[in-house]
């Protein structure tokens, strides 16, 4: 009886029409030297390598750590030589490319730097970590991908005419690598056996780095000052950036970037971090790369994924997983017909605290991640509603 009363109460509440937006904001109030790769560890901490002053002067020697609470910047590691791409292994070690030093450094969680690999390394940029902490490296200098075992043994993995200064490097859930060419707009897919193929082409003809999250790629269009989203079928769509060079915050369509380069996703995929040059002159090849600010792209909703296009027997809303959760959880639901869908969250007082989905979706099984980072611990209710159906479930946020 109590559940029926609560359900009825929630169904009578007015629903605010909140527009789901991608927004851009600046994390660091002060600019710093950090023109290389951006990476996020398993705890959600952000690190930025310093490539150097310009493309022709890769003189950066440090990796910075960003305090997301106040935007302050500190030196995490030093003694590098053009700190470009980077990635964390399962033990919390950071692998850092040295584009000017032709080596890969291993940085332990305390910031101590040792040389990990030099064999076959030529102007390295992107790094990705595969199964068993295997390290993959994109060599811009000779257009190859190297595979490095945990003991530092380096071997060829992929090469060919498709690679034109492979820049960023990332890996998906199935072990496929993706690299973004610096010399053109192409994104190349490399299968686990080393077979390479053209996957997508990003507008602008000059890519920065890329990252995999929310079952898609996010790619930096460096020279055209935009960020793009690429589906796993290779479809390219604009995500953020007006195309006008600048450091303006705001909604995706009006926010501006200035020679963005590195990109990394938060562990739950709700946020992207991008480093962005403060100087606005000189062009994307001749201009100054330092100093930079760290930009934050907030994704709302976080990647609605249609995981099954088979038509279900009926309308249903599954229990979120995990539950209890902190701070994000997955919500799955089934639609028997194409519907205008709203997925909203309420607190115990019946107040709406979040709109997760508000759009038309095709029939099938869908999954979306809800990030409750800004909500206090407690009991919440999430409601799925269409033109014909409503369903409510309970979830617990424990911080």
Tens-digit pLDDT profile for residues 168-191? 999 999 999 999 999 999 999 999
User: Mean pLDDT over residues 244-270, rounded?
Assistant: 92
Residue 372: per-residue pLDDT: 85
User: Mean pLDDT over residues 98-113, rounded?
Assistant: 98
* CA nearest to 271, candidates 259, 279, 260, 263: 263
Distance CA 393, CA 197 (A): 44
Q: What is the mean pLDDT of the chain?
A: 90
* Portion of the chain with pLDDT greater than 90, in percent: 73
3 state SS of 6: helix
pLDDT at residue 62 tops 60: yes
Residue 175: per-residue pLDDT: 96
pLDDT at residue 18 tops 50: no
Lowest mean pLDDT among 119-123, 228-232, 393-397: 228-232
Structure-token pair, residue 375: 């909500």
3 state SS of 288: coil
User: Mean pLDDT over residues 71-96, rounded?
Assistant: 97
Residue 300: per-residue pLDDT: 58
pLDDT at residue 23 tops 70: yes
* Portion of the chain with pLDDT greater than 70, in percent: 92
pLDDT at residue 361 tops 90: no
Residue 152: per-residue pLDDT: 95
pLDDT at residue 10 tops 70: no
Distance CA 350, CA 335 (A): 25
* CA nearest to 304, candidates 257, 213, 355, 367: 367
* CA nearest to 370, candidates 339, 393, 387, 386: 393
Could you tell me the pLDDT band of residue 13, with boundaries at 50, 70 and 90? very low
Residue that wins the pLDDT comparison between 364 and 59 = 59
Could you tell me the pLDDT band of residue 9, with boundaries at 50, 70 and 90? very low
Could you tell me the pLDDT band of residue 3, with boundaries at 50, 70 and 90? very low
Could you tell me the pLDDT band of residue 305, with boundaries at 50, 70 and 90? low
* CA nearest to 294, candidates 319, 316, 277: 277
Residue 303: per-residue pLDDT: 54
Residue 11: per-residue pLDDT: 35
Residue 357: per-residue pLDDT: 85
Sign of the torsion angle spanned by Cα atoms 215, 251, 44, 61:
positive
Residue that wins the pLDDT comparison between 55 and 372 = 55
Could you tell me the pLDDT band of residue 367, with boundaries at 50, 70 and 90? confident
Element holding 7 (H helix, E strand): helix 2-12
pLDDT digits (tens, 9 = 90+) for 193-208: 999 999 999 999 999 9
pLDDT at residue 253 tops 90: no
Residue 326: per-residue pLDDT: 86
User: Mean pLDDT over residues 34-56, rounded?
Assistant: 96
User: Mean pLDDT over residues 314-342, rounded?
Assistant: 91
pLDDT at residue 218 tops 50: yes
- Bridge partner list, 83: 98
Could you tell me the pLDDT band of residue 268, with boundaries at 50, 70 and 90? confident
- Bridge partner list, 229: 218, 237
Lowest mean pLDDT among 157-166, 310-319, 377-386: 310-319
């Amino acid at each position: 009886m109590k559940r029926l009363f609560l359900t009825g109460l929630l169904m009578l509440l007015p629903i605010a029409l909140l527009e789901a937006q991608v927004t851009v904001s600046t994390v660091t109030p002060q600019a710093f030297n950090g023109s290389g790769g951006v990476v996020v560890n398993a705890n959600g901490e952000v690190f930025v390598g310093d490539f150097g002053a310009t493309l022709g002067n890769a003189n950066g020697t440090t990796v910075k750590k960003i305090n997301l609470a106040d935007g302050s910047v500190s030196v995490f590691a030093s003694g590098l030589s053009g700190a470009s791409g980077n990635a964390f292994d399962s033990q919390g070690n950071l692998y850092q490319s040295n584009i000017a030093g032709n080596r890969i450094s291993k940085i332990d969680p305390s910031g101590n730097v040792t040389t990990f690999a030099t064999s076959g390394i030529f102007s390295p940029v992107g790094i990705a970590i595969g199964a068993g902490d295997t390290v993959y490296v994109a060599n811009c200098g000779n257009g190859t991908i190297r595979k490095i075992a945990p003991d530092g043994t380096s071997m060829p993995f992929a090469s060919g005419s498709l690679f034109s200064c492979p820049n960023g490097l990332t890996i998906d859930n199935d072990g496929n690598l993706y690299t973004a060419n610096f010399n053109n707009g192409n994104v190349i897919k490399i299968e686990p056996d080393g077979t390479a193929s053209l996957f997508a082409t990003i507008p602008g003809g000059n890519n920065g780095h890329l990252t995999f999250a929310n079952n898609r790629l996010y790619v930096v269009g460096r020279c055209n000052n935009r960020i793009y989203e690429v589906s796993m079928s290779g479809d390219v769509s604009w995500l953020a950036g007006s195309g006008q060079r600048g450091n303006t915050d705001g909604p995706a369509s009006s926010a501006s970037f200035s020679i963005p380069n590195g990109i990394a996703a938060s562990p739950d995929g709700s946020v992207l971090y991008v480093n962005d040059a403060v100087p606005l002159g000189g062009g994307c090849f001749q201009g100054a790369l330092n100093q930079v600010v760290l930009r934050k792209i907030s994704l709302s909703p976080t990647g609605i994924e249609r995981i099954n296009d088979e038509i279900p027997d009926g309308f249903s809303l599954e229990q979120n997983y995990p539950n209890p959760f902190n701070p994000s959880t997955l919500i799955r639901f089934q639609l028997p017909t194409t519907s205008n869908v709203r997925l909203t969250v309420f607190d115990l007082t019946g107040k709406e605290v979040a709109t997760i989905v508000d759009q038309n979706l095709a029939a099938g099984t869908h999954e979306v991640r809800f990030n409750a980072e800004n909500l206090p611990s407690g009991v919440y209710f999430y409601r799925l509603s269409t033109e014909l159906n409503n369903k409510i479930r309970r979830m617990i946020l424990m911080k």
